[in-house]
Amino acid sequence: MFPDGHRGAYSESIGGPVDDRQTVTQDDGSRHDAGAVAAAPRHRRRPALGLLFLGAILLGGWALVSAHQRAQVVVWYDALPIDCGGEPAPIESLGDLEPSFLAILEASPGLDCGLRIQVENRGRLPATIAAVTLPWHGPATGASIRATSLAPYGVLPLATTLGEPSLAASDAVFPLDVPLAVGEQVALRLRLEFSPDGCMSPGALQWVEDAPTIDVSVVGLTGTRAPVGAVFAQRGTDASSCDSG
């Protein structure tokens, strides 16, 4: 007999101490400490968290590499940035305005000029030119000059706004898929023509700076590059006038 106060502290069959810990029988018949089994998921979560952390680092590194290499794709205006029939467009002083000098395109029927830019991949990874965009010169622009094609690829601008099929495009967006190898340079020419649907008062000047923009993709991520400044302005004429009376 055992004192009542010690009943359960010893095994009545063999007189040895009783293990009060709860055990769990697994499917294979093995028995494990229930506390250890309950704690096991926490141990298994640690590798998963580590993989997530590693994945975040890799994604961040991927984005940084892409951004750095996209920055090495350089865009600039050609030495002859605006040509009309192969001849330079006339350049005029804008006085105290900034920029001080621009090629002036008269918004009138028969206008047929080109905006010329150069794009070069100076990085260490191949790139892709995904699109060229000239703001406010699309099919539905209210301006009197629009960009109608992109050479040398013969691409026409999208008729609707990218991502908004119901909206007519005020910007001239030329979708491309042009590989640009390391060290490769390409020349682009946007054709500029008079838009009879535009509206611009005689003598008024309009221009867009840091355009066109170039969508560049490197290792699957896309960013925008652009030349700096402005090289041409459109000037309203009687043909583009929308003044009443």
Q: Is residue 108 predicted with pLDDT exceeding 60?
A: yes
Q: Quick one: pLDDT band at residue 10, thresholds 50, 70, 90?
A: very low
Q: In angstroms, rounded to a whole number, what is the distance separating the alpha carbons of residues 203 and 181?
A: 44
Which is nearest to 150 in space by CA: 127, 180, 172, 168? 172
Q: In angstroms, rounded to a whole number, what is the distance separating the alpha carbons of residues 37 and 44?
A: 11
Helix (H, G, I), strand (E, B) or coil at 238: coil
Look at residue 6 in the predicted model and tell me its pLDDT. Answer: 45
Pick from 7-16, 132-141, 173-182, 236-245: least confident: 7-16
End-to-end Cα separation, the chain, in angstroms: 122
Q: In angstroms, rounded to a whole number, what is the distance separating the alpha carbons of residues 114 and 145?
A: 11
φ and ψ at residue 51, rounded to 5 degrees: -65, -40
Q: pLDDT digit string (tens) for 118-129?
A: 999 999 999 999
Phi-psi region of 213 (alpha: psi -120 to 50; beta: other; left: phi over 0): beta
Instruction: Tell me the whole-structure pTM to 2 decimals.
Output: 0.74
